[in-house]
């Protein structure tokens, strides 16, 4: 049977088009990210949006929801199995190892901005393709760097106008002290087994720490009574955490100690944190983190490098833009005053094409409507574009080698020699 020829294609579920009207927000975000990262001494890194699937299985963790349920997996023509990146940190660490960045003066400070992919159940604040701005400091274990990563995140949000955000912080300990906590947690949850959700029964077997991260209502009272990691920390982890908090005090960044904050990825050690908009209700808070991060001292080694400490953050850009809108923060791109080229007839058309080039070279923003014939239609477009001057080249002007400069505010027109027009316009734009 012949297939219907007419098909209305639609956006893939959970993904967005970023239309021109939204772009001012994105331009502002990109510019702010770049400025803040540079001011903090970070260099940009771009890694591919696909990586070897095993990188995420080993790096992000085989029992995490991100890897277990949310991976986009691609079977390419060769034997390699690739995955769309659900997060950037494993790719950045792979690049650090692969390109020998450990031979540079340490720590190496890197930032990235790009799309991530997670096969989530789409809902408000949860997309299948979303953008993150992230920063990583690789090659140093000093707790001051945990504080610096948080400072950078706050600086970024503040520069975007988001001043009312709150920080939740916890320590997940290290391979020395976490097993003791895990045992305590498992013992406690076994005693509560009948009361927990099905997912938590799975987590109890596979990834007990994530029990504390369950969003189901019925599990909340169990979480509230669960043992806390902070009681099991070894001296090194306790001191590290204490120092991070002291640095935050020094920076006057307020924080809430959230003993149940565990984060969704396996590699975290010691500090973990999340940043929320302050206005959200406690329940909504669980789903609207603007960003999060922490220390991952074991990841470089786990992915084949030397023992190397590291700390990082990633911030969700759609959620940040959404919050900017909630707080009525506008993003406007400053429009430079511009001139519109208006022509009548074939000869004039050829001349304005060349003139367009000359204005470009002089750094003046020029608008054109080359494909329009009538002067009236072109003036209407110039009006809509809010240009300062229109330059009108009609048949008579072509013969006289002149051009009309029309001030769009006053309507006053003046004829000047064509060869001098760039200079004349420059002079008027300066006034
Ligand atoms: P994560 O490291 O998974 O906590 O992600 C860091 C940040 O990225 C989160 O705090 C969110 O702002 C954002 N994010 C994570 N997953 C999604 C998603 N599915 N859709 C939109 N933003 C997300």
Higher pLDDT, 386 or 160: 160
- Beta carbon of 91 within 6 Å of any ligand 1 atom: no
Query: Structure tokens of 394?
Result: 């009609």
pLDDT in tens, 40-88: 999 999 999 999 999 999 998 887 888 888 999 998 788 889 999 999 9
Could you tell me the pLDDT band of residue 123, with boundaries at 50, 70 and 90? confident
167 CA → ligand 1 middle, Å: 15
CA neighbor of 56 nearest in space, from 104, 100, 5, 116: 116
Query: Structure tokens of 107?
Result: 């720590």
Q: Whose CA is nearest to atom 12 of ligand 1?
A: 316
Q: What pLDDT score does 2 carry?
A: 52
Q: What pLDDT score does 188 carry?
A: 95
315 CA → ligand 1 middle, Å: 7
141 CA → ligand 1 middle, Å: 25
Counting Cα atoms < 13 Å in the Cβ hemisphere of 421 gives 31
The answer, yes or no, to whether residue 259 has pLDDT greater than 60, is yes
Edge-first strand order for the sheet with 269-277 is: 43-44, 108-117, 129-138, 310-316, 291-295, 269-277, 165-171, 255-257
The answer, yes or no, to whether residue 118 has pLDDT greater than 90, is yes
Residue-by-residue DSSP string for 209-261 = GGGGG---GGGHHHHHHS--GGGG--HHHHHHHHHHHHHHHHTT--EEE-TT-
The phi and psi torsions of 110 (rounded to 5 degrees) equal: -130, 150
- Beta carbon of 120 within 6 Å of any ligand 1 atom: yes
Q: What pLDDT score does 124 carry?
A: 85
Could you tell me the pLDDT band of residue 314, with boundaries at 50, 70 and 90? very high
Higher pLDDT, 370 or 312: 312
The helix-helix angle for 421-430 and 346-361 (nearest 10°) equals 50
CA neighbor of 42 nearest in space, from 110, 140, 144: 110
Q: Whose CA is nearest to atom 22 of ligand 1?
A: 316
- Beta carbon of 127 within 6 Å of any ligand 1 atom: yes
Q: What pLDDT score does 430 carry?
A: 86
- Beta carbon of 244 within 6 Å of any ligand 1 atom: no
127 CA → ligand 1 middle, Å: 9
Please confirm whether the linkage preceding 107 is cis (ω < 30° from 0): yes
The answer, yes or no, to whether residue 282 has pLDDT greater than 50, is no
Beta bridge partners of residue 312, listed in sequence order: 136, 294
Rounded CA-CA distance 74/276 in Å is 34
Please list, in sequence order, all residues whose beta carbon lies within 8 angstroms of the beta carbon of residue 359, skipping any fewer than 6 positions away: 339, 341, 366, 422, 425
Q: What is the pLDDT averaged over residues 411-421?
A: 96
Which of 311, 314, 324, when mutated, tests ligand 1's pocket best, judged by the most ligand atoms within 8 Å of its CB?
314
pLDDT in tens, 132-181: 999 999 999 999 999 999 999 999 999 999 999 999 999 999 999 999 99
- Beta carbon of 132 within 6 Å of any ligand 1 atom: yes
Q: What percent of the chain has pLDDT over 90?
A: 79
Identify whether the C-beta of residue 202 lies closer than 8 Å to the C-beta of residue 142. no
Which of 61, 72, 130, 312, when mutated, tests ligand 1's pocket best, judged by the most ligand atoms within 8 Å of its CB?
130
- Beta carbon of 267 within 6 Å of any ligand 1 atom: no
pLDDT in tens, 229-250: 889 999 999 999 999 999 999 9
Q: Whose CA is nearest to atom 10 of ligand 1?
A: 291
The answer, yes or no, to whether residue 272 has pLDDT greater than 90, is yes
Rounded CA-CA distance 54/47 in Å is 16
Q: What pLDDT score does 283 carry?
A: 45
291 CA → ligand 1 middle, Å: 7
The phi and psi torsions of 135 (rounded to 5 degrees) equal: -140, 140
In a 10 Å sphere around its CB, with 0-12 CB exposed, 13-18 middle and 19+ buried, how is residue 408 labelled?
Answer: middle
Q: Does the global pTM surpass 0.75? A: yes
Which of 87, 132, 258, when mutated, tests ligand 1's pocket best, judged by the most ligand atoms within 8 Å of its CB?
132
- Beta carbon of 65 within 6 Å of any ligand 1 atom: no
Rounded CA-CA distance 101/170 in Å is 30
The answer, yes or no, to whether residue 281 has pLDDT greater than 60, is no
Reported in sequence order, the residue ranges of 2-128 that DSSP labels E, i.e. its strands, are 43-44, 50-52, 73-75, 81-84, 108-117
- Beta carbon of 64 within 6 Å of any ligand 1 atom: no
pLDDT in tens, 318-368: 999 999 999 999 998 777 778 999 999 999 999 999 999 999 999 999 999
Q: What pLDDT score does 288 carry?
A: 84
SS3 call for 24: helix
* Residue found by looking up tokens 């949310």 in the block: 70
Atom of ligand 1 minimally distant from the CA of 128: 19
Atom of ligand 1 minimally distant from the CA of 319: 12
87 CA → ligand 1 middle, Å: 9
């Amino acid at each position: 049977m012949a297939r219907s020829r007419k098909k209305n294609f639609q956006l893939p579920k959970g993904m967005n088009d970023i239309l021109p009207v939204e772009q001012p927000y994105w331009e502002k975000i990109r510019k702010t990210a770049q400025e803040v990262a540079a001011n903090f001494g970070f260099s940009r890194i771009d890694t591919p949006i696909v990586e070897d699937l095993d990188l995420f299985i080993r790096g992000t963790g085989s029992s995490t929801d991100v890897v277990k349920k949310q991976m986009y997996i691609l079977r390419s023509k060769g034997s390699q199995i690739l995955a769309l990146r659900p997060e950037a940190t494993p790719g950045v660490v792979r690049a650090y190892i692969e390109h020998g960045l450990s031979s540079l003066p340490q720590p190496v400070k890197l930032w990235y901005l790009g799309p991530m992919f997670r096969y989530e159940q789409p809902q408000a604040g949860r997309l299948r393709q979303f953008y993150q701005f992230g920063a990583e400091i690789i090659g140093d274990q000093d707790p001051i760097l945990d504080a610096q990563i948080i400072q950078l995140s706050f600086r970024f949000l503040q520069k975007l106008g988001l001043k009312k955000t709150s920080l939740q912080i916890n320590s997940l300990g290290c391979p020395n002290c976490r097993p003791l906590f895990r045992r305590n947690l498992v013992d406690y949850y076994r005693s509560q087994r009948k009361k927990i959700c099905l997912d938590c029964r799975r987590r109890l077997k596979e990834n007990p720490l994530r029990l504390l991260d369950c969003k189901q209502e019925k599990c909340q009272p169990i979480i509230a009574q669960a043992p806390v990691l902070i009681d099991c920390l070894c001296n090194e982890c306790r001191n590290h955490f204490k120092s991070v908090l002291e640095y935050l005090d020094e920076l006057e960044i307020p924080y809430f100690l959230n003993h149940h904050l565990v984060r969704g990825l396996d590699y975290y050690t010691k500090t973990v944190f999340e940043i929320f908009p302050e206005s959200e209700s406690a329940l909504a808070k669980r789903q609207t983190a603007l960003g999060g991060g922490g220390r991952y001292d074991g990841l470089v080694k786990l992915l084949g490098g030397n023992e190397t400490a590291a700390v990082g953050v990633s911030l969700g850009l759609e959620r940040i833009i959404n919050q900017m809108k909630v707080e009525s923060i506008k993003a406007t791109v400053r429009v430079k005053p511009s001139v519109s080229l208006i022509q009548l007839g074939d000869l004039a058309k050829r001349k304005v094409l060349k003139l367009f080039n000359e204005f470009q070279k002089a750094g003046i923003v020029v608008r054109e409507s080359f494909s329009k014939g009538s002067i009236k239609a072109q003036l209407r477009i110039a009006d809509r574009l809010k240009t300062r001057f229109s330059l009108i080249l009609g048949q008579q002007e072509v013969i006289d080698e002149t051009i009309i400069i029309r001030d769009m505010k006053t309507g006053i027109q003046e004829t000047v020699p064509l060869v001098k027009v760039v200079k004349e316009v420059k002079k008027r734009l300066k006034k």
